Amino acid sequence: MNPGSRSRRDIGVLMGFLVAALLLAGVVSYYASGDPDGLNKVAIDKQFASSEQPHDLDDSPLAGYATTGVDDERFSGGLAGVIGVAVTLVVAGGVALLIRRREPQETRPGATSGPSA
């Protein structure tokens, strides 16, 4: 297998995952359950939900799985999901690049340790 075809295949797989993540975050998330999540459900069941206090980030642009300033509830939630996916991918990609650059050349797959005799 030549190196170019592997690279193209890897990019194709990554693009497939990206499209799937964006569809899940932007479209399918609208159909998620409106019931309280696990922590909220326990707080309600154990009767300490009334002690909830505002969080410092309640006024942030993506608080509450919605986008501030977008009136359409469906679009607001989808946009917040897409932004979340994009930020996560950028951070994860940056960390991966930093790790790859710091990794010694000899341990990288396909790296040569020097001229062969």
Could you report the per-residue pLDDT of 62-111, keeping only the tens digit for each? 888 889 999 998 999 999 999 999 999 999 999 999 998 876 766 656 65
What integer is the mean pLDDT of 32-45? 86
**pLDDT reported for residue 29:** 84
Instruction: Work out the average pLDDT over 19-42.
Output: 87
Domain boundaries, the chain: 8-33+62-106
Angle between helices 3-26 and 73-102 (to 10 degrees): 150
- pLDDT-derived band at 8 (thresholds 50, 70, 90) equals confident
Report how far residue 68's alpha carbon sits from residue 61's, in angstroms, rounded to the nearest whole number: 5
The reported pLDDT for the residue numbered 46 is 94
Evaluate if residue 47 carries a pLDDT over 90.
Answer: yes
Q: What is the full DSSP assignment across 25-42?
A: HHTGGGGS--S--HHHHH
Report pLDDT for 52: 86
Q: Are 65 and 77 in contact (CB under 8 A)?
A: yes
Percentage of the chain beyond pLDDT 90 is: 47
